[in-house]
Amino acid sequence: MSIDLSEVVLIIPALNEQESLPLVLGALPKVGRVVVVDNASDDETATIAATHGADVVYEQQRGYGAACLAGLAYVEEMIPACRIIAFLDADFSDDPGKLIDLVRPIQEDRADFVLGSRLAGELEPGAMPPQARFGNHLATFLIWLLLRRKYTDLGPFRAIRRDALQLLKMQDRNFGWTVEMQIKAIEYRLRILEIPVPYRVRIGTSKISGTVKGTILAGYKILLLIAIYGIPACFRRLTRRQDNGRQS
């Protein structure tokens, strides 16, 4: 089955990524629309995005989730015809060409939500600091413990059916965006698929794992959201199991 990316909108949150963004946009396969969300950059990120033909959205409140939500709001208002929404970081750590592999299972109706797993793929030495690896392992273990669904990563490179994403009613405005989506995807019983993706050393310094403050805040927020969304979902799962047992 040929892959038609014309129905795909790619959202790229970007904060001061003028060096890496041209490489990301230049390596992308042709998609329906590219939306770059300038998250209050103080460099030429927005100008570069526009020069490369991307739609530029401005979000002055800094935060990964805030940028993603601003991109989604733009899609809802301006691009009503798209069927699949994908997310990709602007730092060139992921291979933009792998977008085809993420979209394919959705177009073939084998999945609703496809996550690119860095830890299951080819990881370049130094691409993921030890604290990031530990945080991913801990978060995915806790999700499995509560919801009995095994993820290998909280990777930002992902694609999802638009109507499925609308069901999730995403809210987080900073570090918890990825884990919120993954927990809610389980709760709403989406067809979830992980595929390995290569991951290389990013261009520039990470705003999260590249600083002690960012690492601590991200870890705290991720664990908090696992508790907020995961524990109630766990109780609902156990209640359903008990009800099914009584009915059988």
- The token pair at 212 is 């002690």
Pair 166, 89: CB distance under 8 Å? no
Q: CB count, 10 Å around CB of 233?
A: 20
pLDDT values of the chain reduced to their tens digit, one per residue, 248 residues: 578 899 999 999 999 999 999 999 999 999 999 999 999 999 999 999 999 999 999 999 999 999 999 999 999 999 998 999 999 999 999 999 999 999 999 999 999 999 999 999 999 999 998 888 998 999 999 999 999 999 999 999 999 999 999 999 999 999 899 999 999 999 999 999 999 999 999 998 776 655 666 678 888 888 998 999 889 888 888 887 777 766 65
Contact 63, 174 (CB under 8 A): yes
For the chain, the domains span: 5-243
What does pTM read for this prediction? 0.92
Q: Domain spanning 5-243: which superfamily?
A: Spore Coat Polysaccharide Biosynthesis Protein SpsA; Chain A (3.90.550.10)
Q: What is the CA radius of gyration of the chain?
A: 18
3-state SS string for 42-61: CCCHHHHHHHCCCEEEECCC
| DSSP assigned state of 64 | H
Burial of 86 (0-12, 13-18, 19+ CB in 10 A): buried
Distances (CA, A) of 205 to 15, 81, 129, 209: 11, 36, 12, 9
Torsion angles phi and psi, residue 177, rounded to 5 = -55, -50
